[in-house]
Structure 1
Amino acid sequence: MKKQFPQALTIAGSDSGGGAGMQADLKTMQMRHVFGASVVVAVTAQNTRGVNDAFTLPKTIIDEQFEAIADDLAIKAVKSGMLANSDTVRTVAKNLRKFNFGPYILDPVMVAKGGAHLLTDDAVATVKQELLPLASLVTPNLPEAEVLTGITIKDQGAMRVAAEKLQTLGAKNVLVKGGHLDTETAASDYVLLADGTDFWLSGPRFETINTHGTGDTISACIAAEIAKGTDLKSAIQIGKAYVTATIRDGILVGHGHGPLNHWAV
């Protein structure tokens, strides 16, 4: 008898270097024993050294990808990453309202590791208006949380305030990733849940520049776990443990900000 398999969806851009974006999402879902489907919204020419060029797909083909997936697959959780511009954000929001793909994880990707901007300035407002209210969980890093909330984040207290602000903007649950905080020994993330409970997730800080795709990976892992039926708190904890392992057990690929080791356990 064939086994019914949990299925999750990533909405993201393609990373030709294979380290982030749709490629990182699908590798992560595969490692979590979840079948990953994808809606590609943009194609980038990039590697570990940076983004050379990018092309955003027309709205019609984005719509058609959503239609095709909804017509055939049983998606139980969905995440989004790079969305490029306001038109794409609106198109994604429209389709998320139209189709029931389960809990939605919003990774508000704005800047690549090499510094290239992956979300236009006007699209930030659209993300706040259109996507935050749809999100079961939003997973910004500190620079992204600062842009979304207008709060300068220099310590853990400010991380709490930013998470509360994101809830007032419509996000139900919030994971503020603290990797950019200036601490020597630990990388601590703050989680604020819809019921008001909160907790910290801490992991060791590793001396490496091979962290390309960390945000994509943790959000994809959380989405995959939710598709399997894992509760949100446990899914977040599993996501943190997995991304820590992918950095700890690093691999050497390329000559810049290298990718994670998605084989790590």
Structure 2
Amino acid sequence: MSNSAPAIALTIAGSEATGGAGCQADLKTFQARGVFGMVALTCIVSFDPKNDWGHRFVPVDPEVIADQLEAEFSCYTPDAVKIGMLGTPVTIETVANALRQYEPKNLVLDPVLICKGQEPGAALDTDNALKAQILPLAKLVTPNHFESMALSGMNSIESVDDLVAAAKAIHEKSGAVVLAKGGVRLEGPDAVDVFYDGATLEVLSVPKVGEHAVSGAGCSLAAAITAELAKGASPLDACRSAKDFVTQGIEARVGSNAPFDALRQINS
């Protein structure tokens, strides 16, 4: 085993108590991909089994978020940073200010839009703040089916061609490399994601593992991309590797008493 210094990755994200998603999934993914992981906690989310497994949402104080980031960037220089759930406009402003100050070289945005624990008006304010303040800083963005519609301005995404159009539109608006995730949302036997960086278009496709979404798949995909970028991979190679990692994790998923299973991060 090599004793050389590992690549370092930071996730700025929320806690999801069951360990399937959020910063717990991110840190397990970083470990599985061989990088040293850190987390700046932005909020605490717990499923509510008494209310159709919706999200209960508690934000972390903005000063506490700023303090965490100050400590992390003072101790280390992250090779890549992932942005997960932020949750409020003031959190987004706090994180955006820190990102502009510290200027991480690889910034991956998993654009979590519409928190189920918030009122619609507050959620819209949060979405707009994310698009205005965080998206322009991102090197790579990983929107899911709904987020691809929101960021591209498209009314529907029903096919791979639609997903390609969405990826191109998001790239044009943001300048970021895009991995638009179709997952199990598109009809057909394959889970399809579209990579587009302004020059290279690649459709990443593997057979679906079941027909239902698995908790933590999106978080783990973005975290695996972050880990691979931290180790020096190109964006396309990072996305390919991350998709393989998530497919293995879905195959090894952990069953639960909730109406969804959780991805299991497999060491590789």
Task: Give the alignment's TM-score, normalised by structure 1.
Answer: 0.92
Structure 2 portions without partners, runs of 5+: none
What residue is the counterpart of 1:64 in the other structure?
67
Which residue does 2:38 correspond to in 1? 37
Q: Kindly report which structure 2 residues correspond to 1:10-159, keeping only aligned pairs within 5 A, or say none.
A: 10-46=11-47, 50-110=53-113, 120-151=123-154, 152-159=156-163
**Using the alignment, how far apart are the partners of 2:129 and 2:243 within structure 1?**
28
Q: Does the alignment pair 1:171 with 2:175?
A: yes
Gaps of 5+ in 1: none
Name the structure 2 match of 1:241. Answer: 244
How many residues are aligned here? 262
Counterpart residue number, 2:194: 190
1:190-229 mapped onto 2 (5 Å cutoff): 190-194=194-198, 196-207=199-210, 209=212, 211-229=214-232
Q: In 2, Cα distance between the equivalents of 1:109 and 1:185?
A: 26
Equivalent residues of 2:179, 2:193 under 8 A apart: yes
SS of residue in 2 equivalent to 1:263: coil
1:158-202 CA deviation, whole Å, 9 max, x = no partner? 2122112212222320010011433231011111014x2110000
- Amino acid in the other structure paired with 1:165: A
Written as runs of structure 1 = structure 2, the 5 A alignment for 1:244-259 is 244-259=247-262
SS in 2 for 1:75: coil
Large movers: runs of 4+ above 3 Å: 115-119
Q: Distance in 1 between matches of 2:131 and 2:251?
A: 34
SS of the aligned residue for 1:102 comes to coil
Give distance in 1, aligned partners of 2:263 and 2:213: 6
**Structure 2 counterpart of 1:260, one-letter code:** L
The alignment status of 1:161 with 2:165, answered yes or no, reads yes
Deviations 1:16-51 (A, max 9, x none): 111000000000000001111011000112278724
CA distance in 2, matches of 1:182, 1:169: 24
Per-residue CA deviations over 1:52-89 (Å, capped at 9, x if unaligned) read 52110111111111100011012100011111121111
CA contact (8 A) 1:247 1:261 kept: yes
CA distance in 2, matches of 1:45, 1:132: 26
User: How far does the alpha carbon of each residue in 1:206-258 deviate from its partner, in whole angstroms, 9 at most, with x for none?
Assistant: 22646101110000000001111112111110001000111112222333212
TM-score (norm 2): 0.91
Q: Which residue does 1:4 correspond to in 2?
A: 5
